[in-house]
Amino acid sequence: MLRLRSSVDAERADRLRTVLRDLEGVRRVVQQPDHDCADATVFVADVEAGAADELIEAIIALGIPADDYVLTKVDVVAPLRRHRAGEIEGFAWIEVIGQARLNSRPLARYLALITAAAVITGLGVISSSSILVVGGMAVSPDLLPICATCVGIVARRVRLARRSFVTLSLGLALVVVVVAAMSAGLKLAGLLPDGFEVENSSLSTLAKTDYSTVLVALAAGVAAMLSFETRAAAVVGVAISVTTMPASAYLGVAIGSGSADEGLGALVVLTINVSLMLVSGSLTLLLQRWLPNRSGAPL
């Protein structure tokens, strides 16, 4: 469920009251004086997710400044049956757009996390340790720009899609560079295993493409988009990174250890995975946007 809180002047109060009263999906409207401004009225209302986009459009049409209203998400404790049947399963496009904007830029935390993930995953490839590779996948934040790119594509917001894709590309390129530098350093220091050749690693399948590559990438894109809209993103992110982090790290190890040609297969795998995830993620979001939700409200 979402909650609206808005403070409006006397000129707009009557019109906003009418909007809140007539808009389906808006309930429990409370109106009270704004003690900080004598001529203003505060409105508080519970909003179903399916009504959020129409409500925001109405607020913008009334000319209410962005500083005079806020729409927040509220955890529903009871009655669960009622909200599971309608509000919790609703889809708020405005919320998805907001999350995409938030995750479309290469913030310092994103770069730090993906660098840490690169080191862990790279060591996993070198030591043929599946545990370390999974650990690197758990740390990687690449799920966020992937989903933000899908949102930009579906919303036809070119700048958002381009910015998100650049952030994703920058992160994956950073993985390759960090792992390549680490591998080269270990090689110069004589710390690589004796006779190490990346193509002989038990994880060499990371550089090979078959039918499972396509199916996994398509499924990962669907899971990524669904988790992006819920609190499952942190968990599903581990599964999503199986299509990006291992191949990127394998490519970095191949370059750093002097076997760049062996990394071409990983580059192909990475390109296929990212492309198919963007396709299936975008189609998933598009389907959600246009199909009716459980309560019957248009998306």
> What is the pLDDT at residue 8?
93
Cα–Cα nearest to 237, from 134, 108, 87, 99: 134
In a domain, residue 295? The reply is: no
C-alpha distance from residue 208 to each of 45, 121, 140, 179, 262 (Å): 54, 18, 22, 19, 10
Mean pLDDT in residue range 119-135: 93
> What is the pLDDT at residue 85?
40
Decide if 289 contacts 229 (C-beta within 8 A). no
Q: What is the pLDDT of residues 236-249, one digit of tens each?
A: 656 677 889 999 99
Q: What is the pLDDT of residues 74-126, one digit of tens each?
A: 877 777 655 444 443 456 778 888 889 888 998 899 999 999 999 999 999 99
Range of the domain at 11: 2-90
Q: Which of 90, 117, 136 is the last residue of a domain?
A: 90
**Could you tell me if 118 and 199 lie in one domain?**
yes
Residues 6+ apart with CB under 8 A from 149: 161, 164, 165, 168, 278, 281
**Could you tell me if 213 and 138 lie in one domain?**
yes
Residues 6+ apart with CB under 8 A from 69: 4, 5, 6, 7, 8, 59
> What is the pLDDT at residue 74?
85
**Could you tell me if 119 and 72 lie in one domain?**
no
> What is the pLDDT at residue 295?
39
278 CA to centre of own chain: 12
What mean pLDDT value characterizes the chain? 86
What's the rounded Cα separation, in Å, for the pair 104 and 171? Answer: 12
**Could you tell me if 41 and 137 lie in one domain?**
no
Q: What is the pLDDT of residues 269-292, one digit of tens each?
A: 999 999 999 999 999 998 887 775
Decide if 87 contacts 76 (C-beta within 8 A). yes
Mean pLDDT in residue range 187-201: 86
Residue 230 has pLDDT above 70, yes or no: no
Beta bridge partner(s), residue 27? 46
In a domain, residue 238? The reply is: yes
What one-character DSSP code corresponds to residue 291? S
Q: Which of 69, 90, 111 is the last residue of a domain?
A: 90
What percentage of the chain reaches a pLDDT higher than 90?
57
Cα–Cα nearest to 12, from 87, 69, 76: 69
**Could you tell me if 148 and 259 lie in one domain?**
yes
CATH number of the domain to which 75 belongs:
3.30.70.120
pTM over 0.95: no
In a domain, residue 14? The reply is: yes
Beta bridge partner(s), residue 43? 6, 31
Q: What is the pLDDT of residues 11-44, one digit of tens each?
A: 899 999 999 999 999 999 999 998 888 789 999 9
> What is the pLDDT at residue 38?
76
**Could you tell me if 59 and 152 lie in one domain?**
no
* Residue carrying the six token digits 């390759």: 176
**Could you tell me if 63 and 155 lie in one domain?**
no
Q: Which of 90, 109, 128 is the last residue of a domain?
A: 90
Q: What is the pLDDT of residues 147-162, one digit of tens each?
A: 999 999 999 999 999 9
> What is the pLDDT at residue 296?
41
